[in-house]
């Protein structure tokens, strides 16, 4: 069975960090307004205060949106593939405080994807050492390093700086939604 490694934030769930910034600043930014990987980079000098607040008070998974059809597609992928959820939790800007992110991510995955064997939840800071055949992520650097014969990049504003040729040279294919992932990985199997 081929192994698939699937990222969590902005791959299965979305806009959690955006909501945290909007709640903190009382703003109404939309995902299409943000072209940086870290949403909080738009805060400028207020970023450090936001990070202190964030790690003390916010669990983005309390109220987070799923990318349409992500969970149901992953459930079906489990019939044909060996599926691992691999989420980075180490924030180099707040090393000790990062431990709460690991707990929140683990809790959300266990509660919302009970069909995933909890032993196949990988919380790390080094995704590139995890051996797999297929990777699904929204961050190019997570896809270009390490293992994987098939590398699918979820389309987001923050990864638009990579054009088709850039991605092709890295062996990465841009995908726009989970229905497309379903057709790539499950067509002909169901
Ligand atoms: Mg991600």
**pLDDT tens for each residue of 48-60:** 999 999 999 999 9
CA of 42 to the centre of ligand 1 (A): 18
Helix (H, G, I), strand (E, B) or coil at 26: coil
pLDDT above 80 for 80: yes
Helix (H, G, I), strand (E, B) or coil at 94: coil
Q: For residues 8 and 89, state if they share a domain.
A: yes
Mean pLDDT of 150-175: 96
CA of 139 to the centre of ligand 1 (A): 6
Whether the model clears a pTM of 0.85, i.e. scores above it, the answer is: yes
> Which strand ranges, in their side-by-side order, compose the sheet holding 82-88?
121-124, 82-88, 3-6, 134-137, 150-154, 172-175
pLDDT above 80 for 190: no
Q: For residues 81 and 123, state if they share a domain.
A: yes
Q: For residues 177 and 120, state if they share a domain.
A: yes
Summarised one tens digit per residue, pLDDT across range 129-153 is 999 999 999 999 999 988 899 999 9
Domain total of the chain: 2
- Domain of 28 in residue numbering reads as 16-61
CA of 159 to the centre of ligand 1 (A): 11
In 3D space, the residue among 63, 105, 111, 59 whose CA is nearest the CA of residue 85 turns out to be 105
Mean pLDDT of 80-89: 97
CA of 49 to the centre of ligand 1 (A): 23
**What Cα–Cα distance (Å) separates residue 94 from each residue in 65, 99, 178?**
25, 9, 32
């Amino acid at each position: 069975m081929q192994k698939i490694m699937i990222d969590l934030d902005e791959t299965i769930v979305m806009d959690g960090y955006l909501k945290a910034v909007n709640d903190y600043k009382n703003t109404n930014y939309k995902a299409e307004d943000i072209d940086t990987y870290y949403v909080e980079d738009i805060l400028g000098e207020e970023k450090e205060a936001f990070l202190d607040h964030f790690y003390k008070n916010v669990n983005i998974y309390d109220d987070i949106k799923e990318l349409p059809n992500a969970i149901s597609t992953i459930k079906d992928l489990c019939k044909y593939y060996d599926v691992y959820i691999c989420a980075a939790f180490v924030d180099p800007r707040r090393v000790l405080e990062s431990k709460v992110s690991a707990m929140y991510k683990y809790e959300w995955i266990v509660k919302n994807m009970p069909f995933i064997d909890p032993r196949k939840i990988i919380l790390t800071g080094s995704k590139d050492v995890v051996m797999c055949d297929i990777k699904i992520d929204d961050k190019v650097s997570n896809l270009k390093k390490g293992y994987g014969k098939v590398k699918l990049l979820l389309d987001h504003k923050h990864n638009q700086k990579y054009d088709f040729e850039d991605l092709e040279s890295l062996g990465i294919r841009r995908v726009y939604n989970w229905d497309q992932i379903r057709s790539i990985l499950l067509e002909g199997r169901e």
